[in-house]
Structure formats: C-alpha cells, structure tokens
C-alpha cells in the first residue's frame, strides 16, 4: 500500500474501495445491524489493520496521518465499518504489540493484522467513564499471575472479539499509579459477554458489556510495567483523539456531498433549492467547518508523526471536528426537509451515526475543561 507518495496513494486506494464496495452496501449493512465480516476481510487483505505498525514486525509501515486518512475515507462510506477498523488498528492491538510476549503476538497480534482475530479495548465501567480514578475492575496479584474481577461496558467489538485489552486497578491505595493493562483472551474461564446493545447509530458496530469473574491470567499478560497503565494510555491518547476527529471529517464529507446533490435536484417554487440563500448558507457553513476540521486534525497527526507532543492540538481537533460533524448532520436533515426524517435517504444515518463520535476519546465537557487549562485559564 505504501508507495512513493503514500498519503495520496492511500487516499486513492481507500476512496476507490469506499466508492465501489462500501457505499453501495452501506444501507444494507446498517439495516441488518450485523458485524460486517466480509467487508472487514477485504479491508484486512489491503493491509489496513497494520498501517501503524512497522513493516518488519507484521505491519504496513505507515504513520498516524495515513491511519487517519483511512479512518476518514471509511467513515465517509459507513461509520460502523470505520469504527471497527479504528479499534483494530489502534486501541485493540497497540498494547499487545508494544508489551505482549512473542508467544502472545504470534497467537493473537499477527492474526489480528490479517483479520483472523478481532481485538477490543475495555476501559469504561458503569461507574467509571471520564473518571479513570474510579476504575474498580481489579487485578489481584497471586503466585505467577493475577485474578481479575469486574465489569466493563460500552466495549466496541465486545461481542465478536477474540481478545481484550483491559484496564484494571492492582492497588486502590495507589490510585492512578495502580492502573495497569492486561491481556485477556476471550476463551479464558470466567469471561462472559452480554448480548449486543441496541444503539441509535453505528448499528453494525457490535457493543456490549464484558464481565470478568475470578479470571486467572499469567503475569506475562500484564501489558507494560507495573503502575504504568495510565502513562501508557496517555501515550496514545492524542492518536485516539485525532482518529475520532478523522471519523468526524469523513461523516462531514458524506453529509456535504449528499446535501449538495439533493439541493441541486430538489425543486421548490419552480427552481432548485440550491438557488436559495439560506440553503447556500448552510452548505457554506458545512464546507468551512469541514476545512477547519481537516486543518486542525492533520496538523495534529503530523505532530504525532514527528514525535512532537500535541495532546492539546489533538483535543482541539477532536472537539471541533466532532461538534462540526453533529452540526452538519443536523443541518443536512434540514436541507432534506421532511425527507430528512425518512429512512430512505442516507442523511438520517449520518445524523444517527454522528452521536457515536461525542464520547469516544473524551467527552466534550472534559475536553473543554482541559483545553481551557492548557491555554492558561
């Protein structure tokens, strides 16, 4: 996939796939609400799942910028598929790649790069979302390993995943310094998965609760040094936020394209509604916020690729692009008028899917609080 001009080549390759394979089936996949195994296999065969990892270690040798280009293009086609792919490329496999044993990587990481195994990331709990200090899933150290007990919720890919990266508390007295990530295969005794949640949008993205009841794992399944879980999470937080921003850009593009096409076709008072200034203003606002989202997001990805700290810039990108996506989706339904309320047109799916973006990578209330601190308030 990576050639002389990797960004252009990756974008063209993914755009062609989205236009030819994903968009024609997007409505069908969304309506069925089933995990899109065949589409994911096609994506795996393109080398997408390994885009962030070195070519000599099972990946495709790409960058954060290329990863976000892929997420953006896939979200333009169908947010569900983009979300699944984003999980497989980053959160679900990152800690296994960096901290997993050779044996674990051979059994799980390399098959995941080929789409043979599905990964997921277990962070959120019923009483611990933005407040990671409240994580109560425990990992009690015993001779030769750990015993894990607790519940995770809103786990993307949970019902279909083959393995889990799980944030646990090993010592409540240490608070954040007691947090650690652990690798838990699905087949481990004591792991139970709820039925998939019924969700408003991203209906083919399988989401569930995962319960861990006296789950015994060996010490080698701790991913990272003791007490380094939070710092390891922070090391990829900028990537998580720029990825979410890239998903938002893809959705904005889809809404803008659909709105322009519809406005040019819809006739009212004997002329296309695209002739009316209020419609033009909506489209102009969408287009302007889209360009601003791109500038913020890809500035941050290039900083990541250059190893420049950019959590502030990534947070701004995630906050702005996601709010812009929700606004574009809302305005799109208004341009479509009553047809925006019909399941016949894709704009209703964009509206539903836009809500998926609000919480991943940090709620906007948390982001706004942090941004205000970073700029000196």
**Residue 3 in this model has a pLDDT that exceeds 80:** no
**Residue 361 in this model has a pLDDT that exceeds 90:** no
What pTM was computed for the model? 0.95
Which has the minimum average pLDDT: 124-133, 177-186, 212-221, 351-360?
A: 124-133
CATH topology (fold) of 119-227: Butyryl-CoA Dehydrogenase, subunit A; domain 2 (2.40.110)
Domain edges within the chain: 6-113, 119-227, 230-374
CATH topology (fold) of 230-374: Butyryl-CoA Dehydrogenase, subunit A; domain 3 (1.20.140)
Give the whole-angstrom CA distance, residue 262 versus residue 256: 10
Of residues 30, 65, 34, 32, the one with CA closest to residue 51: 65
- Contact between 217 and 71 under an 8 Å Cβ cutoff? The reply is no
Exposed / middle / buried, residue 228 (Cβ in 10 Å: 0-12, 13-18, 19+) = middle
Which has the minimum average pLDDT: 22-36, 128-142, 172-186, 204-218?
A: 128-142
**In this predicted model, what pLDDT tens digit does every residue of 279-321 receive, in sequence order?**
999 999 999 999 999 999 999 999 999 999 999 999 999 999 9
The CATH classification of domain 6-113, taken from the options 3.40.50.1100, 1.10.10.60, 1.10.540.10, 1.10.3720.10: 1.10.540.10
């Amino acid at each position: 996939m990576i050639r002389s001009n990797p960004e252009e080549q990756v974008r063209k390759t993914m755009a062609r796939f989205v236009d030819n394979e994903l968009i024609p089936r997007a409505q069908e996949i969304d309506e069925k609400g089933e995990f899109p195994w065949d589409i994911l296999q096609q994506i795996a065969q393109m080398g997408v799942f390994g885009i962030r990892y070195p070519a000599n270690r099972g990946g495709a040798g790409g960058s954060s910028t290329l990863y976000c280009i892929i997420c953006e293009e896939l979200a333009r086609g169908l947010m569900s598929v983009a979300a699944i792919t984003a999980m497989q490329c980053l959160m679900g496999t990152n800690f296994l790649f960096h901290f997993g044993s050779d044996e674990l990587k051979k059994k799980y990481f390399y098959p995941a790069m080929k789409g043979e195994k599905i990964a997921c990331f277990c962070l959120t709990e019923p009483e611990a979302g933005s407040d990671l200090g409240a994580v109560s899933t425990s990992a009690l150290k015993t001779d030769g390993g750990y015993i894990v007990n607790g519940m995770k919720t809103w786990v993307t890919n949970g019902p279909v995943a083959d393995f889990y990266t799980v944030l646990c508390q090993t010592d409540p007295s240490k608070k954040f310094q007691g947090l650690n990530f652990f690798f838990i295969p699905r087949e481990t005794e004591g792991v139970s998965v709820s039925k998939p949640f019924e969700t408003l949008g991203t209906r083919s993205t399988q989401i569930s609760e995962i319960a861990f009841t006296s789950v015994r794992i060996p010490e080698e399944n701790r991913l990272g040094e003791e007490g380094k879980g939070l710092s390891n999470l922070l090391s990829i937080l900028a990537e998580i936020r720029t990825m979410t921003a890239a998903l938002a850009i893809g959705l904005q593009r889809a809404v803008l394209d659909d709105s322009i096409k519809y406005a040019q076709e819809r006739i009212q008072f004997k002329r296309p509604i695209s002739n009316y200034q209020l419609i033009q203003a909506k489209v102009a606002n969408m287009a302007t916020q889209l360009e601003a989202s791109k500038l913020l997001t890809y500035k941050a990805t290039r900083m990541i690729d250059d190893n420049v700290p950019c959590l502030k810039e990534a947070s701004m990108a995630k906050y702005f692009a996601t709010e812009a996506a929700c606004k574009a989706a809302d305005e799109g339904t208004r341009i479509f008028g009553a047809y925006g309320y019909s399941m016949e047109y894709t704009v209703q799916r964009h509206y539903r899917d836009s809500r998926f973006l609000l919480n991943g990578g940090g709620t906007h209330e948390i982001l706004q609080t942090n941004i205000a601190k970073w700029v000196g308030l």
